[in-house]
Structure 1
């Protein structure tokens, strides 16, 4: 039974139609070599149990994660673990009420879908009740600006499988860009292996990449470099070692590109506080424009 659950979790992380043979030794060697951090360094990070994905708190009642984490899953016993420096020792457990997928997201069926569907690999997780914020439970503000024409140094925290064989929260810094071989789409951001055999791994799916202090992208999947030229060979590589590989792109769903759906959905479902936080930049801009307008009127009337 334990093996069956583990086997299914690994299959869901990547592509539901692949058959992956995973032995115990291979499991231990899968790499995510980030440094251990306290939840106080990343207080928005959430562990979704028992499916084993990561997410981020974006409102007292809502978590943002990857859509593929929930395909085929029974959510009747799904819980969000918050305030956890170790995924097995969370301070708070709140039952999940409902999962809402991005309407453009669907299950991967062919190799050609891999990169394309990463554009919409997004789901909103509604909690059965709001969480009370604390020092170790905070809301992550989402980025609303377009991606610049350059790579950026960002960070990712998650509870995924790692070289240390523990369940601690770990974080890595890496450069994120829009240009990864043939995977070029402004809805998709990507990175090569982070260095030192480091990358996202099973369990880091749904983790939110933070750039300049704001949630920017959602951890989606790994795609071999050879995918751009030989999809059959790429399929073979996907059956082997995936984590920490220098011949893989690690692909992330760009939040800003899906922000229209995200904002409208949450506004309709009563999450106005999130909308206000995310639109802070625009409100400030409007305020400045009004200030200039009033100043101009005063000058004309004087």
Structure 2
């Protein structure tokens, strides 16, 4: 079985422990991307430690609701996190909000690498403006071969510098049967996943976890895991349409 890694930006204090769980990893994020056009992703958030270190991506789906990957928040308390909104520059003039409660999917990591999705309820309502907006999602799936946009903060290339500007890249959705074949029917891949792939040198990596993938203006997936980084294998994401009912039930359908 191949070794996978979730695309989390690991604080250095945990590196020694995690090297025993996952293969040694660097801290790259979007590989082969470019600066996102200004205002193109007003739903994008940076999930950070309480000290302001970027950990994961996520998306605004309501005035009090953030959606992200389960592994970004599992085992964490609301007090240990904060959410940066309204900026594409990690050093820019964004607005911080603070979690009130974290909802990790009840079947997260059961089986391994499955149901990797979570919701964060904030302790205050997000104030929408031209730089801060929610994104809608649909119970309908995106088609195979659809062009899907991934956004996140990270290196412009493997081993390159880490920009503060939000990065974007267009990826092609890979059919589920083709993705299963690429991973030799590995059980880590399930029907709740969506795969993307272009070519080696383009894709997600550590720090993109939980970040949004969009198609035709709708949220379709959240970055989960892959073989780091952009090495010629598909990236694997939580397929939002698969979790549509869970999201609606957890938020009380009150995303606003």
Which TM-score applies when normalising by structure 2? 0.80
Q: Tell me how far 1:165 sits from its aligned partner.
A: 2.0
Distance (Å, rounded) in 1 between the aligned partners of 2:208 and 2:137: 19
Q: Tell me how far 1:74 sits from its aligned partner.
A: 4.1
1:61 to 60, 64, 77: 64
Unaligned runs of 5+ in 2: 1-9
* Residues 23-74 of structure 1, C-alpha deviations (whole Å, 9 max, x = no match): xxx54x7762211114511100000112510000000110000001113334
Distance (Å, rounded) in 1 between the aligned partners of 2:90 and 2:20: 28
Distance 1:30 1:46, change over 3 A: closer
Q: Per the alignment, in what secondary structure is the counterpart of residue 98 of structure 2?
A: strand
- Give the 5 Å matches for 1:203-242: 203-223=207-227, 242=228
Which one has more relative contact order, counting CA pairs under 8 Å at least 6 apart?
2
* Greater share of residues in helix: 1
1:175 aligned residue: 172
Distance 1:74 1:20, change over 3 A: farther
Does residue 257 of the first structure (1) align with residue 242 of the second (2)?
yes
1:157 aligned residue: 151
Q: Point out the structure with max Rg over C-alpha.
A: 1
Distance 1:76 1:30, change over 3 A: closer
Q: Per the alignment, in what secondary structure is the counterpart of residue 86 of structure 1?
A: coil
* Residues 214-237 of structure 1, C-alpha deviations (whole Å, 9 max, x = no match): 0011110004xxxxxxxxxxxxxx
Distance (Å, rounded) in 2 between the aligned partners of 1:218 and 1:129: 24
Which TM-score applies when normalising by structure 1? 0.69
Distance 1:244 1:65, change over 3 A: same
Q: Per the alignment, in what secondary structure is the counterpart of residue 238 of structure 2?
A: strand
Q: Is the 8 A contact 2:34 2:156 kept in 1?
A: no
1:124 aligned residue: 119
Q: Per the alignment, in what secondary structure is the counterpart of residue 39 of structure 2?
A: helix
1:278 aligned residue: none
Q: Tell me how far 1:161 sits from its aligned partner.
A: 4.1
Q: Per the alignment, in what secondary structure is the counterpart of residue 272 of structure 1?
A: coil
1:37 aligned residue: 36
- CA-atom RMSD in angstroms: 2.6
